[in-house]
Each structure stands twice: as C-alpha cells, then as structure tokens.
Amino acid sequence: MMFRRLWLIPLLLLVGIVVGAACGGDDEPKGPIVLIEQDWDGNLVTTEVAKIILSEHMGYTVETKFASADSQAMFQGMEDGDMHWVCCNWPSFSATMIEDYVDGRSAVERAGPTGSEGINGWFVPTYMIKGDPAREIEATTPDLVSYEQLNKYKDVFATSDTGKKGRFLDYTAAWDIRNEERAESLGLEFEVVYSGSEVATLAEVEASYNRGDPIIFHAWAPHWVHAKFDLTQVQLPPYTAECYSSGRYDCGFPVDAIGKMAWPGLKDKFPDAYAMLEKFQIDNEQQNEMVFAKTQSGKTVDEAAREWMAANESVWKAWLP
C-alpha cells in the first residue's frame, strides 16, 4: 500500500509549485520593467532613482524607453504594455489624453501622486525691468508687469527671424503647453519659437542672461533656473477650467499636482515593484537638488541620483515592500 502511494509525492510537489507560481510571492517575475524617460531633467533624475531601487535593491531587470513628455506616444506605450511607468505626469499638459486613456477607457491608470507640485509661467530677466547697475545694464521694459504691456515692448523682444513681432522662446511643439494659442488669444504680437529641447532653450536663456540681452521664455518649477537667475514672472489672466476647455487658453496655467501613471498590468505582473512605485515620492526640493547637481555641478544623471540616495536612505528605504 505504501508503495502505491509513493507516486503521489512528486505529483503533489508539482501541483504545489504550479499553485505557488500562480499566487506570486517569491516566484514573481523579475522583469523587464520598462520605465519612461522624457526630455526634461526632472524626469530623468527621478526616473533614475526608481531604476536604481528596482534593479539594485529589489532584483528586477529594468529597461528605459523614451517618450516625449506627456505625449500621446507615452500614453499609447502604456496602453500597449510596451512602457510600464512614468514618474511625472503634468495633468494640464495632457488633459485630453487623460480624458481618453485614463478616465475614458481605463487603458492607463493613475499610480498615485509624485509628491511635487508643478507651477508654470512666462519669465523675463529682472534686469529688463529694474536694470543691473553692477553690469551696466539699463532697464529696457521698466513697467513690464503683465501680458498687457508686452505689445508695447514687442520691438525689444523682436529678432531678425520674427520681424516686427516679439520673440517668445519655448521648448518643443511636442509638449502640450499651448503658448501659441495663448499668445494669439491674448492678442499678443509675438511669435512662439521652439528651440527643440529643454537643454537648447536653457542654453539660450543662459547665454542671453550673461550678455544682458532681452528674452522672454516659458519656465516651470521645480527647476534650477530660478535658483541660478534673477527672473520676474509676467502675470497672465488667472487660470480657469473654462479657458482651457474652450480651446482659447487665454489665461495662465493651473497648479499641477504631478502624478505617476502606469500600465494597468503592472500591479498584477510585478506586485512588489508596483507596491514600491506606488509609495515612491519626490517633492520639489528633492528633485531640484538632483537636477541642480546634474546641470550645475557636472554630475551625470546616475551620479546625481546616487548622491541623493546616499544622503536620503531613510526616505527611499521606507518605500521598499
């Protein structure tokens, strides 16, 4: 009788293995998990922190793929499962896609707040308004307070490329910032010019600032640009939801609660990774610290992230499941 039952032992062991695999736990697959990298420094350093934690402290294989910030390519990649997680979505720059992919079809899901708050606006160097005697710079737009004075000074901002129109410097048309619509709706005789990237725009800002030249450009916070340069924000009409839904964009920008987005299958396929990423939060000051280390101290993205992690072990270790 005993010998008849011995054949059941390997069968029961096999059943146990299969059930264990189905239930996850120690048998959870270890990747690859695909994180989304974008064309701005805040995303790059924040994503690098997540990548290091997942790969070196949780044992996952991690890949990165590029998608322009808050673009359709980003949302489509997460719907298709080709991309799994993005650290920093600005809702006001992707409202129509959130309405479709997230709230409409549940093809992409929210994965909690990033922990930072996004503020956008139009900025000029303060020396344009107040001058800078130490650099022998005279004020060229002395009463510039809001968009209402911009047409008065369009010649100050004009270049050979824009003719009689003032020149407004932006990043890339792939970002859904809507400054072209905003300028037109506000009746501004300005031409929006795209540099092509954050790096190119800020290189031009720095060069213009060092020369004491006039420039008006879009900037956001958190960002190192506010720590390095003395800037003044040009006031726009207060933001309203109606001004955005109308398509006119004849107002300023909403304050964005920056959030994380994920492929809906992430929490089921990689539950431990998802648990960590759900807790993962980087606030404005923490992100600025890493971005400043990269852009102003010559650190690589990896070095800036590791430097921050070394100084903040109690923060990120609390995210581990």
Token pair of 40 as six digits = 């701005």
Instruction: Name the CATH code of domain 119-245 (choices 3.90.45.10, 3.40.462.40, 3.40.190.100, 3.40.47.10).
Output: 3.40.190.100
> Which token pair is 209?
């600032």
Confidence of residue 176 (pLDDT cuts 50, 70, 90): confident
Closest CA to 164 of 173, 156, 172: 156
Residue type, 305: A
Boundaries of every domain in the chain? 31-117+256-317, 119-245
pLDDT digits (tens, 9 = 90+) for 268-279: 999 999 999 999
Q: What rounded mean pLDDT belongs to the chain?
A: 91
How would residue 26 be classed by pLDDT, with cut points 50, 70 and 90?
low
In which band, very low, low, confident or very high, does the pLDDT at 207 lie, cut at 50, 70 and 90?
very high
The answer to whether residue 6 scores a pLDDT higher than 50 is no
φ, ψ dihedrals at 259, nearest 5°? -130, 165
**Is a pLDDT exceeding 80 seen at residue 179?**
yes
User: Does pLDDT of 7 surpass 70?
Assistant: no
Gap between the Cα atoms of 30 and 191, Å rounded: 49
Nearest by Cα to 320 from 108, 72, 49, 107: 49
- pLDDT band at residue 127, thresholds of 50, 70 and 90? very high
pTM of the model: 0.76
pLDDT higher at 216 or 24: 216
Confidence of residue 213 (pLDDT cuts 50, 70, 90): very high
Fold of the 31-117+256-317 domain = D-Maltodextrin-Binding Protein; domain 2 (3.40.190)
Examine domains 31-117+256-317 and 119-245 and report if their fold is the same: yes
